[in-house]
Structure 1
C-alpha cells in the first residue's frame, strides 16, 4: 500500500454507518511497559509488556432522528460494548479493515453559535484490535441466501483466533425478514467442502455482532462470509470483516 490522502475512511459501529457524519477517525493501540529493572540490568532500564489496549476516536457533524444517525446510536450504545470497524481506504472486499469489540466510553456534542453542530466520541477496546480485511461491502444489497468472495487469509495457528464482525445496516421486507451470517473456511478457493467456523445470531433489525474462535488451530487458508436470508421480499445491507490474531 503506497502513501495516500485520507478521503474515503469508513466507520461502522453496531448497525450504524457513520462515514457520512465523520471527518476524523483515529485508531491507537498500546502495550503497557512494566518496569523489571534490577541490579543485573547493567544500568539499563528493563521492561516487560503488560496489558494491551486500543482505542477508536472519531468526530464529525452531528445528526439525529434515525437509528443509523450518530446521536441516536451514541445515546443507545453509551456504556455498552459492541463491534467497531474502520476502513482507511474504503470498505471494498479485500480492503484493509481494523476492527474490535469496544466500549462506547464517551460522547460529546455542541459548540458555539453559528458553528456546524459537531460530535466527538471514543470507544475503548474490550477485545484485541484486529487487522483484517473486509469480506462484504456495505453498499451491496442482498435479497437471497448466498456466499461472499473467497479470501486467502492463511491458517490459524494454535493459540491464535479467527475474528469476524457483522454490521447489519438496513433491513427491509415483510413477514420478519431475517439474515443469519456465518464464516466458512476451506483448503481451496473453490470451497468444494466448506466448514462453518463462526455463526452469528439471526438478525431481524439493524445492529452489530462480533465473534471469535476458541484458539484451536485451523489448517484451512481460504475464508469467506456466507448468509441465509428468509422472509417476504427481504433486502439487507451489511458489512463484514475477517481477520486472524
Structure 2
C-alpha cells in the first residue's frame, strides 16, 4: 500500500458504524519493556518484552436518536467490552483492518457555544491487537443463508490464533436471526470447509468476537458463512479477521 491521505477511515464499534460521525481515529499499540540488566549485559541496558496493550481513540460530530448513532452506542458500551475494527482506507473485502476486543473506558461530549457538538472516546484492549482483513463489507444486505469471499491468510502456526470480529449493524424483518461462523479450507474453492470459530445467533445490532485455541491450522483460505432465518429477514453486518 503506497502513502495516502486519510479520507475514508472506517470505525466499527460492537453494533454501530461510527465512520460517518468520526473525523479522527488513532490506533496505538505497545509492548511494556522490562529491565533485566545484569553484570553480563556488557555495560548496556538489557530489556525484554512484558505486557502488551492497544488503544483506539476516536472523535467526531455528536449524534443521537437510535442505536446506530454515536451517543446511543457510546452510552450502551461505556464500561463494557466488545469488538472494535478500524480500517485505514475502506471496508471492502480484503481491505486492511485492525481488530481488537476492548473496554470502552471513557466518553466525552460538549464544547463552547457556536461549535459543532463534538464527541470523543477511548477503547483499551482486553485481547491482542490483530492486523487482518475485511471478510464481509458493511454495505451489503443479506436476506438468506450464504457465504462470503475467500481470503488467503495463510496457515496458522502452533501458538498463534485466528481472530474474527462480527459487527451486526442492522436487523429487519419478523423474528430475524443470523448465525455466523468462520470457515477454512486448503483451496479457494472451499470443497471441504471446516468451521474454525462460531458466533452466537444474533437478532439485533451488536458485536461478537471469537478466536481459535492456539493449535496449528494448515488450511490457507478463510471465509465467513452465515445462516439466516425469519420472515423477510435482512441484515447488514461487517466481519474482520486476522492471525496473531
SS at the partner of 2:74? helix
Is 1:92 the counterpart of 2:92 in the alignment? Answer: yes
Partner of 2:58: 58
Partner of 2:103: 103
Partner of 2:193: 194
Deviation at 1:42, TM superposition (A): 2.1
Deviation at 1:192, TM superposition (A): 0.5
Partner of 1:173: 173
Partner of 2:152: 152
SS at the partner of 2:20? helix
Partner of 1:6: 6
Deviation at 1:37, TM superposition (A): 1.1
SS at the partner of 2:26? strand
CA distance in 1, matches of 2:61, 2:117: 6
Partner of 2:243: 244
35-44 vs 189-198, greater mean Cα deviation: 35-44
CA distance in 2, matches of 1:123, 1:151: 28
CA distance in 1, matches of 2:59, 2:5: 18
TM (norm. structure 2) is 0.99
CA distance in 1, matches of 2:42, 2:229: 67
CA distance in 2, matches of 1:37, 1:182: 47
Deviation at 1:43, TM superposition (A): 1.7
CA distance in 1, matches of 2:234, 2:96: 26
TM (norm. structure 1) is 0.99
CA distance in 1, matches of 2:90, 2:137: 9
Deviation at 1:242, TM superposition (A): 1.0
Count of residues in Structure 1 that have an aligned counterpart in Structure 2: 244
Q: Which runs of 5 or more residues in structure 1 are unaligned? A: none
Partner of 1:227: 226
Runs of 4+ in 1 over 6 A off after TM superposition: none
Q: Matches of residues 126-145 of structure 1 in structure 2 within 5 Å?
A: 126-145=126-145
CA distance in 1, matches of 2:148, 2:190: 11
Q: Which runs of 5 or more residues in structure 2 are unaligned? A: none
